[in-house]
Amino acid sequence: MRINSFADVSLRLLMVLSSTPETELPTTRELAEMVGTPYNHVSKAVLKLRQMGLVEAIRGRSGGVRISAAGKDATVGRVLRVLDDHNDVAACQTDTGECPLVHECGLRGALNHARESFYSSLDNVSIYSLARKTPDGPVPVMLTTSRPG
């Protein structure tokens, strides 16, 4: 399965923020540089994550973004169900219109079931635990939250 780029950016932001010390509040612009994504994309992702209650945006001179308590407890499956495309996995279209097998074919349903199984397999994986695991052990906070410049 492949997730859309918006969901990918959002998951990366949550992972970075879950590794960021609570005393640090990176700005959206700093987060964009940390995850290597254009500022506009990160701004939209932060807005959606805030609407979902997964991050908090603090305004003002010393403001920035931090992960919320709900964000720390969020699972990858839950986040993907909201942020990933919900279009049918199979388009069931031909160059001339609808596939002639669409009414008797079980492919669309089977693929949609596979997508839900994919999400379900990630319901036990928290963002918080992902951000701290690498093949060599915990993610060093300094590496994930180093400020550009």
**Mean pLDDT, rounded, of the chain:** 84
Question: In Å, how far are 42, 56, 90, 98, 141 from 75, measured between CA atoms?
Answer: 20, 17, 26, 36, 21
- The three-state secondary structure class of 44 is helix
Q: What global pTM score does this model have?
A: 0.79
Q: Is 60 exposed, middle or buried (0-12, 13-18, 19+ CB in 10 A)?
A: exposed
Q: pLDDT tens, 17-50?
A: 998 888 899 999 999 999 999 999 999 999 999 9
Q: Which domains does the chain have, with CATH numbers?
A: 5-86+126-144 (1.10.10.10)
